[in-house]
Structure 1
Amino acid sequence: LHALRRVLGSRPALSDVQVMNRVKVTTSDLRLAMTEVKPSAMREVAIDVPKVRWSDIGGMEEVKLALKQAVDWPLRHPEAFIRLGITPPRGVLLYGPPGCSKTMIAKALANESQLNFLSIKGPELLSKYVGESERAVREVFRKARTVAPSIIFFDEIDALAVARGSSHAGGVGDRVLAQLLTEMDGIEQLKDVTVLAATNRPDMIDKALMRPGRLDRVIFVPLPDAETRRQIFTLQFRNMPIHPSLHLEDLVTRTERYSGAEITAVCREAALQALQENIAAEHVTDTHFLAALDAVTPRIPQSLLQAYEKYQREHGGARA
């Protein structure tokens, strides 16, 4: 139909025979069709993939590279993995303080990879009825295999994969974890399906899930450093009229220990300060940002950051 519309749009006066002779389906027609026709197996779990790109995330270059290695490389260069006799990473765990772009990274991966993306919120699979939670986990992986290559994203996976023996809900947590472990690395092979998980509490996740072959890559996403904060401010300033006298480096210095979400909140609060001062304001100035920094303070305690650093020392994992 795309090919037919293209021919009729360029030469509307052609006869039926001439149209049939001219219509040729091209690769671009097939690509357009694939954007409109979705796999039927994805209808129940289809989500509107946000238009977030890698360029919308400031810094985090090591995290982006690790995700490209786990998702893009096996699809784009399968012969390289075969040549070296290795299997691609099966899963990636992102952990770190709240507000450090873990979920946003998953959104960018869903958009950039153009793969079928199944987003699962940890607690939504749990049910009070015996066997229902395990069936829900099994169904997620069945759909992912059906529409492979695909990505399963578990947000707040600590709610779903809590360490065995620590659950008090009639053993539901232990059974769900057992089902998750067998789905990821059991008798039935998980082919062309990548598992991406995010958590703020890596210490609560069962150790069996963290071994190679399940969550191969464990990546710490720390608070943004100076360069990352500079990039976050630059991205925020794209749509914000900033007064020429504003000193970006001064803001970068003042926002040490701020998370990415808190830096975004600072920019939003500064714009609101400008509107509060004058509803017809055309620029956001240094004064507005100073007031915003007083209103939005870092909320991640030092004790939590030390706990992450201790976990990283004990369990390894790349650092973003």
Structure 2
Amino acid sequence: MDDATLSSLKAAFAASPDNGPLLALLLRAHLTRGEVPAARELLGTRAPEHLPEQDRHVGAQVLLASGEARRALLFCQGSTAEQALWAARAHLALEELDAARASYQRAVTANTTLEDMDLRARLFARVVEPQPSRGGPRLKVISNDDTTAEDVARAVAPPLPPLTFADVGGLDEVKRQVTRRIIQPFQKPSLFERFRRKAGGGILLYGPPGCGKTLLARATAGECKAQFFNVVISDVLDMYIGESERKLHALFEKARQSTPSVLFFDELEALAAKRQYSREASSGKLVSQFLTEMDGFAQTNSGVLVLGATNTPWAIDPAFRRPGRFDRTFFVPPPDAPARRDILQLALKGRPQEANLDLDFIVQRTQGFSGADLSHVVETASDLAIERSLDAGTESPLRDEDLKAALREVKPTVLEWLTTARNYARYANEGGQYDEVLSFLQAHGKS
């Protein structure tokens, strides 16, 4: 605000000193110009009631900048989110941390655009007393003679919250097959023992990237009420001869000791690639070790379910496909229309959104989108809503135009995979292993 405008407004205020909105405008102008003493002089001894409630936090801001934190709290007694935020700053200045934290949480809950990471860091910082060093630095020597429990723990990703099939959109046929062949043997062990069928075994999930293979594996473990071990492939592979095989054996041993359990290998081709194409003998030995562990000759694998997921099933060594290993193979296709609606609803769940979003419009225009692509549409739309909220200074929910704008930006990512899979399904379909892919391509006119 320039000097002439400011002088005119101050003259108008002198003529009507009870004009609360004009007082708030002048206080903001002085604060913007860095003129805190002028703003404090203008506020004088006026009570909070001289300002409209939505502007009383401006009075608190002036007083806090003037070092009067206790009096600033008088202007923060209302119900607005801005008052709660400035109350948090005033309490912090008075070293009243509990009250400051409560006020900050109340402000951010009411209006997420008021979140202030610097203020949060000051409110919730922890003071750690440094421990005196004894004897100087100590070196840790790692031996490669054996695989320790720490090696096994490192090869398993940190546990994630359990999921169920309700958290996985679509894939109804795959869920039905998994329930019948995998989950029920865990839930009805006596019946299956009568027919000499054991719980566990091996399942291979394959399909385009982003279509829910990993999510389905986690949900399967949740439905089985089994311990889930998500194997980190990069931590299994080791540069030292024999170490990769030893780690793989240790992982299976841990799973056998924790039954019922699920061992999940994502990007399975990294450990189970075709041996005839391997240039290194160590790769062939790792595949042989994997096959031996799955056969369970030394120890039974009863109660251990081995789940593998891959985008390139044609790269897996055929020895893994025989009965007793990955004898059950499920194709996880891109979602159909009902599944796309389910995925969109799951992705939108818990986000601020307008009522009755036109999801039919999005569903009809996303054929060939993976589940990850659909989630990306929602994430992109959320970015637009967040940007609008920050511009407006208040939370603005997701709108139809956000989803439509995101749809113009996000492109499907499964088309390249489908082109490659079509060639294998046509010309390398030994034993009908890719019949499900052919059926999908024919049903969607991509054959």
Cα distance in 2, alignment partners of residues 149 and 290 from structure 1: 45
SS of structure 1 residue aligned to 2:265: strand
Residue 239 of structure 1 aligns to a residue whose secondary structure is coil
Deviation track 1:262-310 (CA, whole Å, cap 9, x = no partner) reads 1111111112112323423532222211211122111223x42133345
Q: Is the 8 A contact 1:245 1:285 kept in 2?
A: no
Partners of 1:123 and 1:160 within 8 A in 2: no
The CA deviation at 1:227 is: 0.6
CA contact (8 A) 2:200 2:304 kept: no
1:229 partnered with 2:340: yes
Match of 1:194 in 2: 305
Query: Structure 1 residues 288 and 46, CA, compared in 2 at 3 Å: closer, same or farther?
Result: closer
- In the alignment, is residue 305 of structure 1 matched against residue 422 of structure 2? no
Q: Corresponding residue for 1:209?
A: 320
Q: Is the 8 A contact 1:89 1:216 kept in 2?
A: no
Tell me the secondary structure at the aligned position of residue 263 of structure 2: strand
Structural mapping, 1:45-194, within 5 Å:
45=156, 47-88=158-199, 90-168=201-279, 170-188=280-298, 189-194=300-305
Checking the alignment, whether the CA contact within 8 Å between 1:115 and 1:151 is kept in structure 2 is: yes
Q: Is the CA contact (8 Å cut-off) linking 2:206 and 2:331 kept in structure 1?
A: yes
Which moves more between the two structures, 248-257 or 50-59?
50-59
Counterparts in 2 of 1:158 and 1:197: CA distance versus 1, 3 Å: same
CA distance in 1: counterparts of 2:267 and 2:157, whole angstroms: 19
Q: Residue 72 of structure 1: CA displacement?
A: 2.5
Change (3 A) 1:47 1:310: same
Secondary structure of the residue that 1:222 maps to in structure 2? Answer: coil
Does 1:240 find its partner at 2:354? no
Q: Letter of the aligned partner of 1:289 in structure 2?
A: L
CA distance in 1, matches of 2:234, 2:272: 10
> Identity, % of aligned pairs?
38
Q: SS at 1:117's partner residue?
A: strand
Q: CA deviation at 1:87?
A: 4.1
Q: Secondary structure at the match of 2:276?
A: coil
Other-structure match for 1:251: 362
Post-superposition Cα deviations, 1:136-169, rounded to whole Å, max 9, x if no partner, equal: 111111111122221111111110101002222x
User: Which residue type is aligned with residue 65 of structure 1?
Assistant: R
Deviations 1:79-128, CA, capped at 9 Å, x for gaps: 32233344456111111111111111222233332222222123321111
Which stretch shows the higher mean deviation, 154-163 or 229-238? 229-238
Distance across 1 between alignment mates of 2:340 and 2:171: 11
Name the CA shift for 1:207/1:146 in 2 (closer, same or farther; >3 Å).
same
Which shifted more, 212-221 or 57-66?
Answer: 57-66
Q: Is it true that 1:282 corresponds to 2:396 in the alignment?
A: yes
Structure whose residues are more often helix by fraction: 2
**TM-score normalised by the chain length of structure 2:** 0.58
Aligned counterparts of 1:248 and 1:172: Cα–Cα separation in 2: 51
Structure 1, unpaired ranges of 5+: 1-40
User: How many residues end up aligned between the 2 structures?
Assistant: 278
Structure of larger gyration radius: 2
The whole-number CA distance in structure 2 between the counterparts of 1:317 and 1:68 is 21
Q: In structure 2, how many angstroms separate the alpha carbons of the residues matched to 1:230 and 1:292?
A: 16
The 3-state SS of whatever aligns with 1:287 is helix
